């Protein structure tokens, strides 16, 4: 980190900053300039917490050299990571993975039918929520453990690994038992205690971007999981909150190439939650693949009109089959072999 002093800063103020840096166990190296002094901070292992130093008298600004996400960054891990979920691989050089399934697990028939449609269409993982983070308490909250069992059963019936959301630490053991991959939803991206516990497992994690999270905050959330020893993370862009109301969220596709440059972790896109509109899912899926996404997660329901959650953004089995045909042609054009 570099601490830039104000041009009116006194020698006492510079000395005070040097002392403050040394109290943090770090080395301060003053760099006098013709107009102002800068102080180089050395000896740090990663990101330096500048919250106090920044406010001390005489400081104009602090400039960070290290990022708050060391282990998630390419600096630390230059080669791209490939994350394997029961044989399904996400990452550079791998064919992008399509994850599909309903928003919520509702019944055995619904899950078995959805799993069959996902498999038939060429999806490689099955999704479905058992613990649902609904905006209002009167909406369907999910089937809980019973739902986890139905998801596992449907996945096994079609030989598809399954992913489902964990909302609380107390649910972690059950979700690890029944699912191949844990999902951290947008609303929990900064639930740091949950991230730490997920990090202590070695279970693969799908980490969704918080609805108002910057890219730095998104990668810092991944850092929490990595720092506890779990390297099996796939990131997911699912749209961010903006002033626009026509879509449910605003799909930030620029995050895909940016994250691919900043981090070694794979990143996929969820065009269902990003747009909230069924008609936008096909074209945004294609755009995501062109942008370099390592996969797509989309909502597919055997009967979207009857879905207990997110029907308006869910594709029917027939819609999904049609879209998969188009995505396969696009992937061929992008150089992936069938
Ligand atoms: C979901 O994938 O079911 C979900 C609730 O998504 P998000 O956390 O992105 O809103
Ligand atoms: Mn949903």
Task: Provide the domain limits for residue 10.
Answer: 2-63
Q: Is ligand 1 within 6 A of the CB of residue 101? A: no
Cβ of 133 closer than 6 Å to ligand 1, yes or no, is: yes
Span from the CA of 28 to the centroid of ligand 2 (angstroms): 50
Asked if residue 75 belongs to a domain, the reply is: no
Extended beta strands in the chain, E state:
2-5, 27-32, 37-42, 59-63, 83-85, 88-90, 97-101, 125-127, 162-165, 181-184, 205-208, 233-237, 267-269, 295-299
Distance, CA of 282 to CA of 304 (rounded, Å): 16
CA 101–ligand 2 middle distance (angstroms) = 10
Proportion of the chain above pLDDT 70, given as a percent: 100
- Quote the pTM value: 0.92
Mark whether 238 and 99 lie in a shared domain.
yes
Q: Is the CB of 248 under 6 A from ligand 1?
A: no
Same domain? 96 vs 59 = no
Whether 148 and 35 map to the same domain: the answer is: no
Cα(184) to centroid(ligand 2), Å: 13
Q: Is the CB–ligand 1 distance for residue 186 below 6 Å?
A: yes
Q: Does residue 76 belong to any structural domain of this protein? A: no
Q: Give yes or no for a contact between 12 and 67, defined as CB atoms under 8 angstroms apart.
A: no
Ligand closest to 133 (CA) is 1
Looking at the structure, tell me whether residues 179 and 229 fall in a common domain. Answer: yes
Q: Are residues 147 and 291 in the same domain?
A: yes
Q: What is residue 67's predicted lDDT score, i.e. its pLDDT?
A: 86
Q: E strands of 172-244, at which residues?
A: 181-184, 205-208, 233-237
Q: What is the mean pLDDT of the chain?
A: 96
Domain boundary among 15, 30, 63: 63
- Which residue is closest in CA terms to ligand 1's atom 8? 185
CATH number where 39 lies: 3.30.70.1140
C-alpha 130 to ligand 1 mean position (Å)? 12
Measured in whole angstroms, the distance separating CA 200 from the mean position of its chain's CA atoms is 18
Left, alpha or beta for 314 (phi > 0: left; psi -120 to 50: alpha)? beta
Residues 214 and 317 in one domain: yes
Q: Is 286 helix (H, G, I), strand (E, B) or coil?
A: helix
Question: How many domains does the structure of the chain reveal?
Answer: 2
Same domain, 137 and 23: no
Contact 62, 4 (CB under 8 A): yes
Task: Classify residue 57: in a domain, yes or no.
Answer: yes
In a domain, 129, yes or no: yes
Structural tokens at position 143:
């089937």
Orientation of helix 281-291 relative to helix 317-333, angle to 10°: 30
Residues bordering ligand 2, an ion, CB closer than 5 Å: 103, 310
- Residue 11 and residue 110 share a domain: no
The answer to the question of residue 329 being in a domain is yes
> Does residue 229 line the site of ligand 1, with CB under 6 A?
no
Same domain, 209 and 302: yes
Domain identity same for 48 and 87: no
What is the 103 CA–ligand 2 centroid distance (Å)?
4
pLDDT tens digits along 191-205? 999 999 999 999 999
pLDDT confidence bin for 337, thresholds 50/70/90: confident
Closest ligand to C-alpha of residue 210 is 1
**Which mutation among 140, 164, 165 tests ligand 1's pocket best, with the greatest number of atoms within 8 A of CB?**
165
Residue 12: CB atoms within 10 Å: 10
Taking alpha carbons only, the member of 146, 140, 148 closest to residue 166 is 148
Q: Are residues 198 and 114 in the same domain?
A: yes
| Residue range 321-329: mean pLDDT, rounded | 98
pLDDT tens for 80-99 read 999 999 999 999 999 999 99
**160 pLDDT tier (thresholds 50, 70, 90):** very high
User: Is residue 120 situated within a structural domain?
Assistant: yes
């Amino acid at each position: 980190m570099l601490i830039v002093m104000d041009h009116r800063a006194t020698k006492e103020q510079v000395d005070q900053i040097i002392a403050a840096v040394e109290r943090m166990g770090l080395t301060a190296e003053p760099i006098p300039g013709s107009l102002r002094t800068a102080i180089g901070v050395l000896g740090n292992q990663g990101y330096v917490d500048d919250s106090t130093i920044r406010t001390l008298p005489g400081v104009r600004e602090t400039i960070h050299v290290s990022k708050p996400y060391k282990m998630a960054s390419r600096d630390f891990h230059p080669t791209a990571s490939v994350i394997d979920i029961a044989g399904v691989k996400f990452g550079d050089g791998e064919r992008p993975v399509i994850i599909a399934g309903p928003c919520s697990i509702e019944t055995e028939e619904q899950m078995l039918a959805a799993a069959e449609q996902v498999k038939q269409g060429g999806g490689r993982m099955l999704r479905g929520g058992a613990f649902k983070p609904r905006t209002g308490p009167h909406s369907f909250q999910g089937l809980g453990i019973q739902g986890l069992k139905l998801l596992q059963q449907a996945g096994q019936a079609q030989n598809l690994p399954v992913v489902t959301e964990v909302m609380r630490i107390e649910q972690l053991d059950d979700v690890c038992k029944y699912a191949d991959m844990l999902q951290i939803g947008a609303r929990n991206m900064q639930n740091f205690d949950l991230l730490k516990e997920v990090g202590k497992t070695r279970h693969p994690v799908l980490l969704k971007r918080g609805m108002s999270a910057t890219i730095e905050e998104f990668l810092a959330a991944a850092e929490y999981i990595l720092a506890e020893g779990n390297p099996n993370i796939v990131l997911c862009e699912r749209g961010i909150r903006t002033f626009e109301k026509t879509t449910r969220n605003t799909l930030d596709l620029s995050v895909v190439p940016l994250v691919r440059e900043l981090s070694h972790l794979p990143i996929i896109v969820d065009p269902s939650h990003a747009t909230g509109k069924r008609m936008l899912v096909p074209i945004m899926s294609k755009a995501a693949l062109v942008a370099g996404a390592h996969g797509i997660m989309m909502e597919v329901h055997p009967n979207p009109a009857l879905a207990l959650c997110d029907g308006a953004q869910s594709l029917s089995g027939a819609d999904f089959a049609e879209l998969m045909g188009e995505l396969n042609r696009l992937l061929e054009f992008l150089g992936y072999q069938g």
